[in-house]
């Protein structure tokens, strides 16, 4: 069953600003960028082709980066990323995720307060999202990706308000969930996760991949002039339980 990317164009502050363009007047990473992140393994994180990159572990385990700071309960988070396949071993598996997780670990509840706004794996042609809320509700949606999941950039965004959670993929609003049980979240912050089997380390050669390439990220508050309403957008395909919640 195909679910192509459809929906209304994404609008940003001051008028139209699509996800297919870079941030306007961005703030570049500074020399002390490492102070802004909590990282599970610094040996597997670095700069490559001018982008933040995460290499895979030799055992296929998780490498994660979590943004420090106060976070936000409401707003719009937007990111652009891709996964570079390993040229000399294309059979290696991988999975990349962009998530919003509670700033306070006490609010995490084994993932029961997490919003995943990008999740795709090697060999698939779709990207998926998931909204988890207490006690163990899970709202899920997915779309087909025209360029697949390998060696091609995709842009993702999620808007969290008191009335809805909207999901954006490649310059389109593709999902809007309004169920009250999906809208209860604490202050959230960005987490990037990558599962790969490259065994790479930085600096790494051009074939030492797969690696998750993170191009840019931006955050908007909800005070956005000229915002257009998000209407006639599908809700989540599936509502189920989250067995890992605790």
On whether residue 174 sits in a domain, the answer given is yes
| Position 71 pLDDT exceeds 50 | yes
On whether residue 11 sits in a domain, the answer given is no
| Total domains present in the chain | 1
On whether residue 23 sits in a domain, the answer given is no
For 16, 19, 116, 129, 132, the CA distances from 24, given in Å and listed in that order, are 11, 11, 25, 26, 31
What pLDDT, on the 0 to 100 scale, is given for residue 56? 77
Which is more confident, 99 or 108? 99
What pLDDT, on the 0 to 100 scale, is given for residue 242? 65
On whether residue 176 sits in a domain, the answer given is yes
Q: What is the mean pLDDT of the chain?
A: 74
DSSP type of residue 40? S
**What is the mean predicted confidence (pLDDT) over 222-236?**
59
User: Is the Cβ–Cβ distance between 108 and 185 less than 8 Å?
Assistant: no
Q: Is the bond preceding residue 177 a cis peptide, omega within 30 degrees?
A: no
Decide: pTM greater than 0.75: yes
**What is the mean predicted confidence (pLDDT) over 68-74?**
91
Structural domain harbouring 126: 37-241
pLDDT for 145-192, tens place per residue?
766 556 578 888 898 989 889 888 887 788 888 888 888 889 999 999
On whether residue 18 sits in a domain, the answer given is no
**Which CATH number does the domain housing residue 206 bear?**
2.60.120.200
On whether residue 99 sits in a domain, the answer given is yes
């Amino acid at each position: 069953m195909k679910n192509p990317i459809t929906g209304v164009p994404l609008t940003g502050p001051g008028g139209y600003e699509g996800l297919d363009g870079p941030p306007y007047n961005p703030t570049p990473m500074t020399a002390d960028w490492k102070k802004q992140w909590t990282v599970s393994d610094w040996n597997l994180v670095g700069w490559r082709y001018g982008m933040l990159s995460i290499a895979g572990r030799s055992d296929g385990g998780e490498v994660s980066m979590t943004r420090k700071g106060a976070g936000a309960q409401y707003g719009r988070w937007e990111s652009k990323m891709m996964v570079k396949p390993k040229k000399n071993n294309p059979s290696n598996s991988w999975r990349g995720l962009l998530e919003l997780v509670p700033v306070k670990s006490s609010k995490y509840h084994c993932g029961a307060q997490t919003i995943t706004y990008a999740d795709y794996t090697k060999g698939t042609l779709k990207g998926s999202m998931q909204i988890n809320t207490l006690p163990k509700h899970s709202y899920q949606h997915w779309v087909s990706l025209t360029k697949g999941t390998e060696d091609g950039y995709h842009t993702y965004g999620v808007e969290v308000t008191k009335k809805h959670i909207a999901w954006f993929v490649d310059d389109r609003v593709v999902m809007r969930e309004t169920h009250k049980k999906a809208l209860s979240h604490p202050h959230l912050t960005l987490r990037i996760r990558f599962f790969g089997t490259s065994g790479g380390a930085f600096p790494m050669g051009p074939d030492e991949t797969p690696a998750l390439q993170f191009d840019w990220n931006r955050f908007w508050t909800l005070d956005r002039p000229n915002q257009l309403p998000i209407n006639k957008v599908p809700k989540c395909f599936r509502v189920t339980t989250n067995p890992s919640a605790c």
